[in-house]
Amino acid sequence: MKTETNNKKTSKKDVKLPKKLVYFFGGGKAEGNESMKNLLGGKGANLAEMAGHPDLRLPVPPGFTIITDVCTYYWANNRKYPPQLKEEVEKNLRRVEQLTGKKFGDPKNPLLVSVRSGARKSMPGMMETILNVGLTTKTIPGLIELTKNPRFVWDAYRRLIMMYADVVMEKAEGIEPEDDMGIRKQLDRMLEEKKKEKGVENDTDLTAEDLQELSEKFKEKIKQVLGKEFPDDHNKQLWGAIGAVFASWNGKRAVAYRRIEGIPDDWGTAVNVQTMVFGNMGNDSATGVAFTRNPATGENKFYGEFLLNAQGEDVVAGIRTPNPINDESKNEHSKNLPTLKELMPDVYKQLEDIRRRLEKHYRDMLDIEFTIEKGKLYMLQCRVGKRNGFAAVRMALDMLKEKLITKEEAVMRVSPAQLDELLHPILDPKDEATKKPIAKGLPAGPGGAVGRIVLTANDAVEWTKRGEKVILVREETNPEDIEGMRASEGILTARGGMTSHAALVARGWGKCCIVGASAVLIDLKNKKIKIGEKEFKEGDWITLNGAKGNVYEGQVKMLSAGENQMLKDFLKLCNDIRKLGVRTNADTPEDSAKAREFGAEGIGLFRIEHMFYGKNSEEPLFKLRKMIVSKTKEERVKALNELFPYMKNDIKETLKVMKGLPVTIRLIDPPLHEFVPHSEDKLKALAKDLGISFEELNERAKSLMESNPMMGHRGVRLGITYPEITEMQVRAIFEASAELIKEGIKVYPEIMIPVVSHEKEVEFVLPIIKRVYDEVIKKTGVKKIDYKVGTMIEIPRACLIAGKLAQTMDFFSFGTNDLTQMGFGYSRDDAGVFLKEYIEKKILPADPFQTIDQEGIGEFIKITVERGRAVRKDLKIGICGEQGGDPASVEFCHNAGLNYVSCSPFRVPIAILAAAQAQVKEKSKKK
């Protein structure tokens, strides 16, 4: 279905092909390089870099890359290739033949190739690769003769048949049989049967004869199931494989993955055709994957796994338990297996050396694939490695210390989402210490997770929709599971290692994950799992500690991540760089303290009315209601006087926590009717206290109803119709401040007037503030209170008259929630209904209430800054809407010249990072 829309979008004339469609690499040279990812895909660009860069020139088997544009062309032209492609491919194939001394399709000395996908961004396991292309009944005897290793040749052949049938003959043809009826699964089962028949455990124990027999049976099966012959011609195989890789770009899994990761459909994949090297030639051969540093902890330790006598994806697929490359890479399952360092010390040394050179060259942690053919090491892939948030922060700090990267680079190395992981909940160690793990696996994703067991990806999605928290428990995951993995709190698999699909994906998302917990036995049919003697049903609670790999029964208590030295060090780095201030939106002393701990430099929004919500709000709320339904000034002043001590106390406590830092206190804002009680007994109590009849009270309450409260009698408008309300609030602020000053505490209150649209409004309020200030100074005897008065900018008209407002105001603060509401004309309370569809249908790129709409609302902001500062150069300008913690919005605010952003306490570190990154980006642009 998706393919169709894709086809339509890229109509023929859209695809303009460059002249050169194929790029060569090998023999110490390469036509491409690392910077050409858009053209060559990540894999192709890095193969070129490793093969051809003078600092590297690593042992990369020669090959060539067909550029991504050809994929786009292919889909736009009814799955046809550009006419000149064939010739270019052949020309490059000849170059490979020259370098290797082998010939593609030659019966005596045949060249075999792999055909590998590779998009701009890595899409783990989403697309296809086919190995051993070129093995036919014509080339097999020659290769046996040449290698004197029939077992190897038949092993390579049966692998080719399996991959080719699956990828080219089935998936690329759009055939999607039920889960375990795919051709690959069917052939896998035949392999299993053969092993059983022979009484052996591993595929490596099968003989040449076994494998030959199996290959013949495979071909029969393919004919029977797919109704087609497995091609016995090397060129047919090659072009079939190339086409299948392009086709895999629009495979179901790849499309789903792109949706989640936000990868555009029109990027396309490149195809890499590369000389095969063989890790399956015996016990002096192997294949493996490694990270130049530990991707789970960030430690500067080489970390990897390998399998002897194996090919390609055996390691990732987890068909055997992989060996560790060194002691540092050992885990529960592999601790007794020999390491590469022990088995092939020379090769290990070379690999270590390559690790060092690669890190120095790329100045980052890399994820590498290697193969050893009869004791000779080859590099098959490298890319900047995925890592979780903890590891990202640690590596950034370490690499800075090692002088591998600069301060600025260190700051750019951690994404806001990764930093977010460090702020995420973990298991409460105290509670955890009282529990015994029921199973252990590998720690593959950070933090802790509590949820109910589900056994399929579909259930994970369904249950989550119902509001349940779930842990997805699987034998192992595959790319079809990703939506379910995304929906789950955490992922637990019974099989697989640190490089398994589940581990790779979870690490990329920063999701709690444990893999290879082999004690977990899954009974999908009866929706149960068994761990040891215990049985758990679907829906039972379990807890994961993704940092330790421990699984617990029931719900273990969770803790917020809180203070962490690494986080502090990293934020300090960001603070040294950033120019934009970061404050917090906080209404309580607790929130304020938390934000301060995270580095907030003040409060950008303290909403006075918060005291009328939640805990301990009963009494002040009652007084407020009295005030609201008052009819006369006398009644109102009386109620306000009763309210006063609550308000003063509340303000005082927060000012105290924030001592030495500015606190912006917004005068009361929300629509009044929100506070009118609805229940009869509450109304009666209120009537009694006011000494009026129930009917009278009802009358008054009714008169407060507005048909458009968001644009009604609120904010500064209240302060103008009832100046005594402003007066009481301001008095509370000044008296609280004065009392603290007397206690020797430095306070910097900033009074903020909301919902302003006309300069006359603030000109009306200002004299009241001045008068009350004088009165408080006189009454308390303090010399002075360092205060400011500013206005919220949340109505488009206010933006346009910013110059006039700046004449009297010390600061502006953008209330981007309301500014977005009124700028778009979207009611915040009602927009949910259509906004979702607006985003799905791509009318809007994102929810403007979450990330500033830079083109429209952003323009209001720019105009305001310009007009305001033209009148008053030192005008302080900030933002206090929800968007203040959104990284893209933070960057926008930095560029717009704001002084600070303000966001909820837990977003403070994110905003600090985003502000530092905005500064680095600005500087590098100027260069």
Residue 815 binds which of Mg ion, ligand ADP, none (CB < 5-8 A, kind-dependent):
Mg ion
For ligand ADP, the closer CB: 312 or 878:
312
For Mg ion, the closer CB: 396 or 498:
498
Q: Does 381 bind Mg ion (CB under 5 A)?
A: yes
CB 500 within 8 A of CB 518: no
CB 441 within 8 A of CB 332: yes
For Mg ion, the closer CB: 166 or 818:
818
- Nearest approach in angstroms of CB 72 to ligand ADP is 19
CB 78 within 8 A of CB 250: no
**β-sheet bridge partners, residue 690:** none
- Nearest approach in angstroms of CB 836 to Mg ion is 23
> Candidates 196-204, 441-449, 736-744, 788-796 — which segment interacts with Mg ion by CB under 5 A?
788-796
Closest CA relative to residue 288, chosen from 347, 204, 359: 347
Binding positions for Mg ion, 798-857, rule CB under 5 A: 815, 818
Binding positions for ligand ADP, 242-281, rule CB under 6 A: 274-277
| 734 phi and psi angles, rounded to 5 deg | -70, -40
Residue 65 binds which of Mg ion, ligand ADP, none (CB < 5-8 A, kind-dependent):
none
Q: Does 630 bind Mg ion (CB under 5 A)?
A: no
Closest CA relative to residue 97, chosen from 221, 255, 284, 275: 275
For ligand ADP, the closer CB: 312 or 715:
312
For ligand ADP, the closer CB: 125 or 416:
125
Q: Does 369 bind ligand ADP (CB under 6 A)?
A: yes
Site string for ligand ADP, 276-315 (x = CB under 6 A): xx----------------------------------xx--
CB 215 within 8 A of CB 158: yes
Q: Does 125 bind ligand ADP (CB under 6 A)?
A: yes
Q: Does 295 bind Mg ion (CB under 5 A)?
A: no
- Nearest approach in angstroms of CB 372 to Mg ion is 16
Residues 204, 280, 331, 381: which binds ligand ADP (CB under 6 A)?
Answer: 381
| 842 phi and psi angles, rounded to 5 deg | 60, 30
DSSP assignment of 774-816: HHHHHHH--S----EEEEEE-SHHHHHTHHHHHTT-SEEEE-H
For ligand ADP, the closer CB: 44 or 620:
44
Distance between CA atoms of residues 630 and 612, nearest Å? 17
Instruction: Write out the catalytic residue numbers.
Output: 501, 880
Distance between CA atoms of residues 495 and 474, nearest Å? 8
CB 171 within 8 A of CB 252: no
Exposure class string for 766-787: b at 16+ Cβ within 10 A, else e: eebbeebbeebeeebebeebeb
CB 131 within 8 A of CB 155: no
- Nearest approach in angstroms of CB 55 to Mg ion is 23
Site string for ligand ADP, 323-342 (x = CB under 6 A): --------------------
H helix count then E strand count, the chain: 36, 34
| 472 phi and psi angles, rounded to 5 deg | -85, 120
Exposure class string for 136-146: b at 16+ Cβ within 10 A, else e: beebbeebbee
Closest CA relative to residue 307, chosen from 326, 327, 291, 322: 322
Q: Does 68 bind ligand ADP (CB under 6 A)?
A: no
**What secondary structure letter does DSSP report for 167?**
I
Closest CA relative to residue 424, chosen from 919, 918, 925, 910: 910
For ligand ADP, the closer CB: 7 or 321:
321
CB 570 within 8 A of CB 392: no
Residue 125 binds which of Mg ion, ligand ADP, none (CB < 5-8 A, kind-dependent):
ligand ADP
- Nearest approach in angstroms of CB 281 to ligand ADP is 11
3-state secondary structure of 910: helix
Name the one residue in this structure whose structure tokens are 């129930």.
Answer: 694
> Candidates 100-108, 123-131, 218-226, 353-361 — which segment interacts with ligand ADP by CB under 6 A?
123-131
For ligand ADP, the closer CB: 276 or 915:
276
- Nearest approach in angstroms of CB 921 to Mg ion is 30
For ligand ADP, the closer CB: 274 or 592:
274
Q: Does 314 bind Mg ion (CB under 5 A)?
A: no
- Nearest approach in angstroms of CB 32 to ligand ADP is 16
Binding positions for ligand ADP, 548-567, rule CB under 6 A: none
Closest CA relative to residue 292, chosen from 349, 346, 359: 359
Name the one residue in this structure whose structure tokens are 């786009």.
Answer: 72
Residue 818 binds which of ligand ADP, Mg ion, none (CB < 5-8 A, kind-dependent):
Mg ion
Q: Does 61 bind ligand ADP (CB under 6 A)?
A: yes
Binding site for ligand ADP (CB under 6 A): 61, 114, 116, 125, 129, 131, 274-277, 312-313, 369, 371, 380-381
Binding site for Mg ion (CB under 5 A): 381, 794, 815, 818
